[in-house]
Amino acid sequence: MDYFIKIISKELSIKEQYVNRVVELLNEDNTVPFIARYRKEQTGNMDEIAIRDIQDRYEYLSQLKKRKETVLNTIEEQGKLTTELKSKIDNCWNLQELEDIYLPYKPKRKTKGSMGIEKGLEPLADLIFEQKTSKSLNELAKNYISPTNELHNESDVLLWCSYIIAEKISQNSDIINLVRDFVQKSGLIQSKIGKNSVDDGEIYKLYYSFESQISNIVPHRTLAINRGETEGILSVSIVVNEDRVIELIQSKIVKTRNSEHITYLKNTLIDSFKRLIFPSVEREFRNRLTEDAESHAISVFATNLKNLLLQPPVANRTILGIDPGFRTGCKIAVINPQGEFLDGGVIYPTEPQKDILGSEKMVSNFTQKWGVNLIAIGNGTASRETEEFIANWNEKREIKIPYMIVSEAGASVYSASDIAREEFPDFDATMRGNISIARRVLDPLAELIKIDPKSIGVGLYQHDVNQKKLEKKLGDVVVDCVHYVGVNLNTASYSLLEYVSGINKKSAKNLIEYRLKNGVFKSRDELKKVKGVGDKAFEQAAGFLRINNGKEALDQTGIHPESYDIAKKLLITLNINNDWNSEVGKKTLENALKKVSDYSEKLNVGVWTLQDIINELLKPGRDPRDSFDKPILKKGILKIEDVSEGMILKGTVRNVVDFGAFIDVGLKNDGLVHISELSNKFVKNPHEIVEIGAVVDVKVISIDLKKQRLSLSMKI
């Protein structure tokens, strides 16, 4: 296992001591967020990504070790395990390479080659393949004629020999790597519309006659042609210069000067290439392109999800949430600044009822009765019509109430979930979804974590990728966001608490039950009284759970209880023991941060840990999301007819994909900023320029009234 550490250290360019310590910490049941936040000195200040890279690679090597044991045992049972072969396998640390080595020894289903061997032709095939005889092929073959084995003449013998040789060539790792290298450098991936295919919406029109270098194809195109192929609309293949690659194989295989043998071997290797080698390599490359594209798509989804979850909360607002609709009306719900449901009902401002007066009366009553100071409108069906109603209602008011458009993605999934039924057992699904829309404004992270991330709608081809990998990656993102923000122990739902390091579903519910029975937690130490929260769970969780106005002032910070003594010694050393949250105290702490190495030595604590302690003392209870762009609050509506080319608009980034970004400028449909319009400089990755939730200025460059679409540019 020590060798694993050396391999990972070299691959990831991380010192062995840090890799080793990370593995030890993980094996001691420490969580990734805990290690990243509270064991910085031991890991060299690694972040969650680096720690997970080590974790994933270590698991990969462990699985590879098990596979090697299986391979060695299988070959040994065949009596073919030489010292050289064993050494080759022992020193192999790549699964593909291992499988290449194993291929000639791998138990196979019945093939033409194995049938030829059963006919007793392997010695002859080896003799011809080794090219150490000058005898004619017929002369060599005549001794193997056997009617009982269906070998009636020399031609039969040579045909079955060619099958044996073809398989030997196809199992030669040097030849396989030669073909791989050729395909990688010069192969093309092509897609064509199928002869009997019908693409009514011309969704795949771009790929009816599409061609790209394998080395250059962009990930989303791979996923698009894969989907088109799955739906039976496209035919997809990899194309190479067969004559050239066969010449290269021949140069490696054919050494004889005997023209008869040359012709025979060339025909055999052509058969080997077309029937065995290339189909296998083609599958391998298609799989590799798909895996790379999926990894990219998952990465894009994860980045978008992180930015969405970290949207700043619109705190201290009483919010009227509206779930728009036509026939069934618009559901409305009022929540207080703590997210508690206050009141609800249904209005009918849209077709077919279009009861404007009745709807205005109910909205006015709700806003006045509960002191509503923000309206949240879902962006689904009838959203813009509902927005127009609210904008017109607002115009009649002396004091206007701002409103914002909120993504409904996943609201229906939440409303039908067990979590929603537990929270609101007496409400129907539509009202639960409406409350969720309003809560997304109050605290996006706390509300969105209740929904399967795949349903939040910020990905690209998310249903086409490996769902297990997607689920793991998105799960990691949610966990990291929860720990980055921290969790208020006295207000968090159990669905939020269960994401906290060291807390599971059962202990999360126990925390809620304890809180209901005993009142709010007054200190982190009180956690130890909760059933299921033992010493290890407390160690992992405590630093991420916040308690405001408790017995211990440090409980409102991200400082771990294990470091309280250090924090207090620091405050005493700085003479601000009881005054650290004042202006004087903050100035003193800022100065200490500049000389952190000196204080680190005095207090015998690591520099990284001390930096974190000082930063937490400087901003106790601070929500890190407050530094991000605040959502746009509106009071009037914009129609596409009001827009003209060249107009500058302010909008919010709703989704970021490989080919650009979708911007909500207040119209029914989001406008698209193509990647070429994101910046005056070349942009390889849109995430380098924009992220979900960012507020940006855009210029209208074209308008499609028929499709109600805008093309936008950030080159202003």
- The mean pLDDT value for 354-370 works out to 97
| Strand pairing class (709-713; 660-664) | unpaired
DSSP string for residues in 308-321 = HHTPPP--S--EEE
Instruction: Let me know: does 434 contact 272? Beta carbons within 8 Å.
Output: no
Tell me which DSSP letter residue 277 carries.
I
- The mean pLDDT value for 409-435 works out to 89
pLDDT the model gives residue 710: 93
Neighbours of 623 (CB within 10 A): 17
Residue 338: both structure tokens together: 């703590």
Q: What percentage of the chain carries pLDDT values higher than 70? A: 99
Residue 409: band (very low, low, confident or very high) from pLDDT cuts 50, 70, 90: confident
- The mean pLDDT value for 99-106 works out to 91
Angle formed at CA 606 by CA 602 and CA 611, multiple of 5 degrees: 95
Residue 117 pLDDT greater than 70, yes or no: yes
Neighbours of 316 (CB within 10 A): 10
- Amino acid at residue number 207: Y
Residue 636 pLDDT greater than 80, yes or no: no
- The mean pLDDT value for 290-295 works out to 94
Maximal C-alpha separation, the chain = 107
pLDDT the model gives residue 367: 97
CATH 1.10.3500.10 fits 133-301, yes or no: yes
d(CA 344, CA 620): 36
pLDDT digits (tens, 9 = 90+) for 468-508: 999 999 999 999 999 999 999 999 998 999 999 999 999 99
With CA atoms as reference, report the closest residue to 502 among 524, 518, 519: 524
Residue 668 pLDDT greater than 80, yes or no: no
pLDDT the model gives residue 1: 55
Rounded (to 5) percent helix, strand, coil in the chain:
55, 10, 35
DSSP string for residues in 203-237 = TTGGGTEEEEETTT--HHHHHHHHHHHHTTSEEEE
User: Which of 410-414, 426-430, 574-578, 603-607: highest mean pLDDT?
Assistant: 603-607
Annotation: CATH topology of 2-105: Arc Repressor Mutant, subunit A (1.10.10)
pLDDT digits (tens, 9 = 90+) for 555-571: 999 999 999 999 999 99
Residue 702 pLDDT greater than 90, yes or no: yes
What values do phi and psi take at 351, rounded to 5? -60, 150
Residue 637: band (very low, low, confident or very high) from pLDDT cuts 50, 70, 90: low
Residue 195 pLDDT greater than 80, yes or no: no
- The mean pLDDT value for 188-210 works out to 88
Instruction: Let me know: does 651 contact 639? Beta carbons within 8 Å.
Output: no
- Amino acid at residue number 613: I
CATH for 319-451, among 3.30.360.10, 3.40.50.720, 3.30.420.140, 3.60.15.10? 3.30.420.140
Q: Using CB atoms within 10 A of its CB, is residue 605 exposed (0-12), middle (13-18) or buried (19+)? A: buried
φ/ψ region of 330 (left if φ > 0, alpha if ψ in -120 to 50, else beta) reads: beta
Instruction: Let me know: does 621 contact 638? Beta carbons within 8 Å.
Output: no
pLDDT digits (tens, 9 = 90+) for 16-26: 999 999 999 99
pLDDT digits (tens, 9 = 90+) for 577-618: 888 989 999 999 999 999 999 999 999 999 999 999 999 999
pLDDT the model gives residue 463: 79
* Neighbouring residues of 225: CB distance < 8 A, sequence distance ≥ 6: 189, 191, 204, 207, 210, 234, 236
Instruction: Let me know: does 613 contact 567? Beta carbons within 8 Å.
Output: yes
Instruction: Let me know: does 262 contact 128? Beta carbons within 8 Å.
Output: no
All structural domains of the chain with their residue ranges: 2-105, 133-301, 319-451, 484-626, 640-713
- The mean pLDDT value for 72-90 works out to 94
d(CA 401, CA 390): 9
Q: What percentage of the chain carries pLDDT values higher than 90? A: 80
CATH architecture label of 484-626: Orthogonal Bundle (1.10)
CB half-sphere exposure, 497, CA atoms < 13 A: 25
- For tokens 């003449």, what's the residue? 153
DSSP string for residues in 686-708 = GGGT--TT-EEEEEEEEEETTTT
Higher pLDDT, 668 or 141: 141
- Choice among 101-110, 193-202, 217-226, 507-516 with the minimum mean pLDDT: 193-202
Neighbours of 207 (CB within 10 A): 22
Residue 140 pLDDT greater than 80, yes or no: yes
| pTM of the predicted structure, to 2 decimals | 0.85
- The mean pLDDT value for 25-41 works out to 97
Tell me which DSSP letter residue 451 carries.
S
Instruction: Let me know: does 615 contact 679? Beta carbons within 8 Å.
Output: no
With CA atoms as reference, report the closest residue to 47 among 32, 58, 60, 59: 32
Instruction: Let me know: does 176 contact 100? Beta carbons within 8 Å.
Output: yes
- Choice among 25-29, 243-247, 272-276, 408-412 with the minimum mean pLDDT: 408-412
pLDDT the model gives residue 705: 87
- Round the average pLDDT of the chain to a whole number and report it: 93
640-713 sits in which CATH class?
A: mainly beta
